[in-house]
Amino acid sequence: MLKNKTAVITGASRGIGRQIALQFAENGANVALIYAGNTTAAEETKSQLQKFGIKAESYKCDVSNWDESKTVCETIIKAFGSVDILVNNAGIIKDRLLLRMSEDEFDSVMDINLKGAFNMMKHLSRWVMKSSAGRFINISSVSGMMGNAGQANYSAAKAGLLGLTKTVAKEFAAKAVTCNAIAPGFIETDMTETLPQSVKDGVNISVPLKRMGKASEVANLAVFLASDLSSYITGEIIKVDGGLYI
């Protein structure tokens, strides 16, 4: 499905990003995985990717830093020769009610979750445009669509990512490059695993399908959006939330 294509995936050492990387590799894509700090997890993920017989490399990078992200993109191009797909998945949370939220807590979430996506798209755009099937895929959140108490920073960043997605879709359509966003709801990851059982039970009550989603269910959509099957879909925001926000 993605044979001989090269994908760059940010935040790919764990969680949803890791699962996307694994399913891309399983479908034949070469993968450049970008991580923020956990080298052990990144190397373990790279090792798993290489078992699919594809080229995989890991790169440590703060995507919110303009110069650092530019340098890593240049390094990836030298190593892989081209880039067909960019998945902007890197993100952090620093939840707090607005009355108690600090400027740093707001800025750092905006910088990673939104500016980081801009940086990566900017630095790789001319390479993605050269592809016969260029794809930008942004991992947003239903929090960016409906808001969520205690997440003024996160919701604002993820909402901004939706506007960025639609604008990039319009700007790059003439080059046959598509840009879409995935908006996950509650997904089983290392982060949600630490939630109290009472919170998990509340999630199961609020979600119409009565369960959290799996990272593989988000990755399935990412594979579709990266493939030729989605060639006439652009500027879309597709929820993977079990009906949480209908």
Note the pLDDT tens digit of each residue in 120-159. 999 999 999 999 999 999 999 999 999 999 999 999 999 9
| Number of domains within the chain | 1
The model's confidence at residue 8, banded by pLDDT at 50, 70 and 90, is very high
CA distance 117 to 162: 11
Q: What angle do CA 16, 21, 24 make, to 5 degrees?
A: 120
Q: What angle do CA 238, 244, 246 make, to 5 degrees?
A: 65
Cβ contact 109:157 at 8 Å: yes
Q: What confidence tens digit (pLDDT) does each residue in 204-241 have?
A: 899 999 999 999 999 999 999 999 999 999 999 999 99
Respond yes or no: is residue 232 known to be catalytic.
no
Instruction: Kindly state whether residue 228 falls inside one of the protein's structural domains.
Output: yes
Instruction: Kindly state whether residue 246 falls inside one of the protein's structural domains.
Output: no
Instruction: Kindly state whether residue 76 falls inside one of the protein's structural domains.
Output: yes
pLDDT for residue 195 is more than 80: no
Which one of 35, 59, 154, 232 is the catalytic residue? 154
Quick one: pLDDT at residue 120?
98
pLDDT for residue 197 is more than 90: no
Global pTM value: 0.96
Domain that residue 200 falls in: 6-240
Instruction: Kindly state whether residue 120 falls inside one of the protein's structural domains.
Output: yes
Cβ contact 63:69 at 8 Å: yes
- Residue 188: partners with Cβ closer than 8 Å, 6 or more residues away: 212, 213, 214, 215
Quick one: pLDDT at residue 203?
84
CA dihedral (140, 144, 150, 152) positive or negative? positive
The model's confidence at residue 177, banded by pLDDT at 50, 70 and 90, is very high
- Residue 40: partners with Cβ closer than 8 Å, 6 or more residues away: none
Average pLDDT over the chain, rounded to an integer: 96
Instruction: Kindly state whether residue 1 falls inside one of the protein's structural domains.
Output: no
With H, G, I as helix, E, B as strand and everything else as coil, classify residue 74: helix
- Residue 69: partners with Cβ closer than 8 Å, 6 or more residues away: 61, 62, 63, 116, 119, 120, 123
CA distance 62 to 69: 7
For residue 92, what is the DSSP state?
-
Instruction: Kindly state whether residue 62 falls inside one of the protein's structural domains.
Output: yes
Instruction: Kindly state whether residue 125 falls inside one of the protein's structural domains.
Output: yes
The model's confidence at residue 101, banded by pLDDT at 50, 70 and 90, is very high
- Give the residue from 188, 174, 181, 176 showing the smallest Cα distance to 160: 181
Instruction: Kindly state whether residue 67 falls inside one of the protein's structural domains.
Output: yes
CA distance 189 to 167: 30
Quick one: pLDDT at residue 202?
85
Q: What CATH number did the domain enclosing 24 receive? A: 3.40.50.720
